[in-house]
Structure formats: structure tokens, C-alpha cells
Amino acid sequence: MTSRPVLPRPSPSPASGPEATELRLLIQTFIRSAGLLAGDQTPCGQPVSVSHAHALMVLLETARNGGALTQRDLGQALGIDKSNVARLCRRMESAGHLVQSRSNDDGRARLLALTAAGARLGRSVERSSRERFEWLMSAIPRTSRAGVLSSLACLNQALASAGPPREIRRVRRESTPVSGDRK
């Protein structure tokens, strides 16, 4: 029997219900305001999904550094599972942005490479993204910018330590006693 990963325990000062509710509402507002729910374009106006745009940028950066990625590597970089990354790669390949090939080292692994069109679109996405975030940062008062960046870094760290959403739900279900159970 394999053991399951152990998730970190809540901090000694757990968040209150109202704090967690406020965080949830603020993040939901951010997601909606940023345009992250639009399936057909990025928040910076590029005509591809957010996952497609992020895949382009990850693959472009890897190619710049002389590396290569497999589907598994891309899935880990994007935080998506095997079936979702396979679907994303098929869509990118159909759009002419990606070429997939079998790895010589492991016949099961699919190596990924941007086409010339994919690299052009990736550079365009990067440029649009950079411009969008420069504009967004300029809209934040100078005295608040360091705090915003620090808060986002803290939130990213908390998300990384929490584990994937499915694992969090599983642990929560297993730790909640069923009615009538005594511990």
C-alpha cells in the first residue's frame, strides 16, 4: 500500500471564517476583473485561452534557455493534470503552434517544440502581458506597490504549500467524521 502525501497542518493562528470569506471574495473579484474567465482570449487581449498563452510562454522561455519540455514537464509548469495538458497540446498542435514528437529516451514521453508561428505568437503574448502588467502596476499607488507584491508572493507560497485542490478536498473529506462516528 502506498502512503499519501501529508499536507501541512494549519498554522497556529488559523484564519477566521470572515477572513477566509473576504479572501475568497477578493480573489473572485480579481479573477473576474482581470478577464481570466474569458475562454477565448487572454486578459491582455490575445486571441487564445489563458492556458494556451501560458504554455506558449513556458515553451518559449525553455527554448531560449536551450532546453526541451515533455508534456509532463509542461503540465507541472502549468499546474494541470496529464489529460488536460494532452488536450491543450492537441489544440496547440491543431492551431499550428506546436509540434510533438516521441522522445528517444522514453518512447512514452512526448517532446514539445514551438513552430515558427507558435514562437511569434508566444512573443506577442509576452509583449502584451508585459504591457498589461506595466499598466496595472502604474495604476497602483507607488506607496502600495511593495505591499501588493509581497502579498502576492505570500499568497503564491500558501497555494504551493496547500497542494493541489483535489488533494485538499480528499484530506478534508477523510478528516471530517461521518455522522455518528466517534473519535
Domains, the chain, with CATH or none: 38-163 (1.10.10.10)
Following CA atoms 22, 24, 30, 35 in sequence, which dihedral angle do they give, to the nearest 10 degrees?
-150
For the chain, give the mean pLDDT: 86
Q: What is the per-residue pLDDT across 42-99, written as a single tens digit (0 to 9) for each?
A: 988 898 999 999 999 999 999 999 988 999 999 999 999 999 999 999 999 999 999 9
Q: Give the separation between CA 94 and CA 87, rounded to whole angstroms.
A: 11
**Torsion angles phi and psi, residue 146, rounded to 5:** -60, -40
What angle do the packed helices 71-78 and 50-64 form, to 10 degrees? 120
Confidence (pLDDT) at 1: 45
Which comes out higher in pLDDT, residue 149 or 107? 149
Whether residue 174 has pLDDT greater than 80: no
Amino acid letter, residue 148? V
User: Which residues sit opposite 111 in a β-bridge?
Assistant: 70, 101
Confidence (pLDDT) at 2: 46
Confidence (pLDDT) at 118: 97
Whether residue 158 has pLDDT greater than 50: yes
Confidence (pLDDT) at 103: 80
